[in-house]
Chain A
Amino acid sequence: MPIVADNISYAYNVGTSAESVALRGVSFTVERGEWVSVVGHTGSGKSTLAQHLNLLLTPRSGSVSIDGAEAKPGSGESRVARRRVGLVFQYPETQFFAETVRAEIEFAPSNWGVSGGALKACVDEAVSASGLDPALLESNPFALSGGQRRRVAIASVIAMRPDYLVLDEPTAGLDAAGIRELIQFLSGVRDAGLGVVQVTHDLRSALSYSDRILVLENGSRVVSGTPEFVARHIIDNPVRGLVIPPVVRFADALRKKGMNVPLICEVDEMVRAIGIYKERNKKCGS
C-alpha cells in the first residue's frame, strides 16, 4: 500500500500580494520498501511536497491518500495518518525542547500513548537504528554537534515506528562519513520494509542509492523514474541547479564512444567495466 499524491497544487499566502505557487499539479507515489528521492533546485517545492505527504499542508487541488485511504486533514484520522508517515524536517534542531536526548526521543511515541517498557524499547531501537551513540542519551540535545543533532532528530521520528520515513535534506551539514552512514541507515530502513522519501539537492546520492527519483523545477514535475532514466533525461535536457556527477558524465561520454559501461555506477565499478571492455577488445583484435 503506497502513499499517493495525485496531481496536487499548492500556493502559499493565497489572497495576499505575497502569493507564491509552490506546487503545480505534481503526482507522486512511494511504496513501502521503496526509496524515492525528490530532487530540485532551491525553491522548487521539495519541502512543500514533503509536508503534503505528512498532511501538514492541504493541497489546493488534487489529493493525498495514505495506504488507500484519502487523508482528510484536520480530522482525527489525520493524526493517525501522521503517525504512519514520519517527517524529519530540514532544520531538525528547531524542534528540540527537552532537557535530555532521551526525553526528546520519547516525545513522539509518548504522544501516541506508548509508555513504560514499550517506550524504552522504542527509544533503544531508534537509537541503535539511527547510529546515535547511546552514551549521549542523557546529555542535553542543544549541546550536540550538528551531525549528532540530526541523528537525534531522525531517532526521535523513527521512535514512533512509522511505515514511511520522509526526510527533508537529511544530508545537509553532514561530512562525507556522516553522509555514508546516513545512506546506510536509509538503505537499512528501506530493507526493513519502510517507504523512504529523501528530499535532497544532491543528485549524486539520489542517483546512486534510490529506487526512483522525482525531479521538480518551479513546482512542476520535470521527470521521474529510475535513476538511469532520470540521468539520461537530465543529460539531454539540463535542469537548473542540478549537476550531473562527474562519474555519470564520464560514463555517458564513454557510451557515446561506443563503450558499453553502465551509466550509473561508482568509480571502482567503472574502472572494472573499462578493464573488461579493454580485455575483450584486445581478444577480438588479436
Chain B
Amino acid sequence: MRFMSAPSIGQFIPGESFIHGLDPRCKIVATVILMTGLFMASGIPDFLLWFCLLLLCSALSGIKLGVILRSGRPVLFLVLVTVVMNLLWTPGTELARLGPLRITREGVLLASSMGLRLLFLVIFAGMLMMTTSPMAFSDGLERIMSPLSLLRFPTSEMAMMMTIALRFIPTLFEETDRILKAQISRGADFESGGILRRARSFIPILVPLFVLVFQRAENLAVAMESRCYVPGARRSRMNPLKWRGRDSSALAGLALFVVFAIFCDRYLFKAILAWLAMR
C-alpha cells in the first residue's frame, strides 16, 4: 500500500541536459518571462504554440512530456473550479441553457483560456524546479535579488531560508509516511466516522510530525551555529555561478518566442480567423 509518496511535482530530477546545464539565474528569468507571456496569451491557437514550446523543453531537458505535465496535477482541482466558474458566469451570446445555468460563447472561450493559462503557469514553474537543484535555485535567486541588499533587504538569509525549506520537503514526506505506517499498524483508522472523528484521527499523525519538525529545526540550528553560521555574513562560494553564452542565447530565443506568441495571438490568428470567416 502506498500511503505517502514524495511529491513528483516540483522535485529536482538530476540530469545533464542542455536545460539542466543553464545558469539558474537564466532559468529563473526565463520562467518570469514565460509567465508574463502566458498572461498575455488568450486564444486556443496560442496555447498550441505554448504546447510546442513545452515539447521543445521536454526534448532539451531529457524529461518525458508525461512527467512534465504531471506537475500540473496539484492544481487540477483549482483549474476545474476556475473553468466551471467562468463557464457558468460569463455573460454573452448564449450557446446552451440548462435550467438557470447559461453557457455562453464568451464563457467557453474565457474558461478554456483561464484553465489552460493556469495549467501552463504551474507546468512551467514545475519545469524550472525539475531541472534546477534546490541549491542552485536558491543560489540563483540570491544573486538575482542581490541588488535589494543595498536596501538592507536580507537576501542571503532569505535564500538560506528557502534552501532549507526546499531541502526539507522530501524529508517531511518521508517522516509523515513513517508516522502514518506506525499508527496504521496500531489500528489507526482514518476512513470511518463523522467529520469530527476523522479530524480527531489525525492527531496521532500531526503531533509526532510537529515534535519531529521542532526537533529537526533545533538540531539544524545547533549544527549551523557549531559551524559558525552568521546570518548575513559575507561568504565566498564553492561553485560560483557562471553566466555563459548559451544562457544569453537561451534567454534571447525565449524572448523571441514570447514576442512571436503574443504577435500571433494579437494579430496573426485573429487575421487568419477573420480571413476564414470572410470566405
Question: A residues bordering B, Cβ < 8 Å?
Answer: 13, 16-17, 51, 54-58, 73-74, 79, 82-83, 86-87, 89, 91-92, 94-98, 107-108, 111-112, 142, 156-157, 160
Contacts and interface: CB of A to CB of B under 8 A. Distances in A.
Contacts of A142: 211
A95 B1 contact: no
A37 to B, nearest CB: 20
A57 B180 CA distance: 12
Contacts of B207: 96-98
Contacts of B211: 96, 142
A54 B185 CA distance: 7
Given A73-B1, A96-B208, A97-B208, A82 B185 contact: yes
Given A94-B178, A94-B182, A97-B208, A58 B188 contact: no
Interface in B3-33: 3, 5-6, 8, 13-14
Contact of A82 (B6, B187, B205, B206): B187
Closest 3 CB pairs of A and B: A111-B187, A97-B207, A95-B182
A95 B5 contact: no
B208 A160 contact: no
B212 interface: yes
B212 A56 contact: no
B184 A82 contact: yes
Contacts, number: 71
B203 interface: yes
Interface string B168-201: 0000000100110111111111000000000000
Contact of B186 (A57, A58, A111): A111
Given A94-B208, A95-B204, A156-B186, 16 more contacts: A13-B5, A16-B8, A56-B184, A56-B185, A79-B187, A89-B178, A89-B185, A91-B178, A92-B182, A96-B207, A96-B211, A97-B183, A97-B205, A111-B186, A112-B187, A157-B186
Contacts of A91: 178
A157 B183 CA distance: 10
A47 B182 CA distance: 13
A164 to B, nearest CB: 12
B186 A94 contact: no
Contacts of B5: 13
B186 A95 contact: yes
A60 to B, nearest CB: 12
Contact of A89 (B13, B182, B189, B206): B182
Contacts of A112: 187
B1 A160 contact: no
Contacts of B188: 107, 111
A55 B1 contact: yes
Nearest to B188: A111
A17 B212 contact: no
Contact of B203 (A13, A82, A97): A97
Interface in B223-273: none
18 contacts: A17-B14, A56-B3, A56-B181, A83-B187, A89-B178, A89-B185, A94-B179, A94-B212, A95-B183, A95-B186, A95-B204, A96-B208, A97-B203, A97-B206, A97-B208, A108-B186, A112-B187, A142-B211
A246 to B, nearest CB: 35
A97 B204 contact: yes
B100 to A, nearest CB: 42
A71 to B, nearest CB: 11
B149 to A, nearest CB: 36
Contacts of B178: 89, 91, 94
Contact of A51 (B175, B181, B183, B189): B181
Contacts of B3: 56
B208 A95 contact: yes
A39 B189 CA distance: 32
A56 B212 CA distance: 22
A82 B184 CA distance: 9
Contact of B189 (A55, A79, A92): A79
B180 to A, nearest CB: 9
B138 to A, nearest CB: 22
B14 A108 contact: no
Contacts of A17: 13-14
A17 B130 CA distance: 12
Contact of A74 (B1, B14, B189, B212): B1
A83 B181 CA distance: 13
Contacts of A97: 183, 203-208
A83 B188 CA distance: 11
Contacts of A92: 182
Nearest to B182: A95
A284 to B, nearest CB: 59
A99 B185 CA distance: 20
Contacts of B204: 95, 97, 107
Nearest to B176: A94
Contacts of B8: 16
A79 B6 CA distance: 25
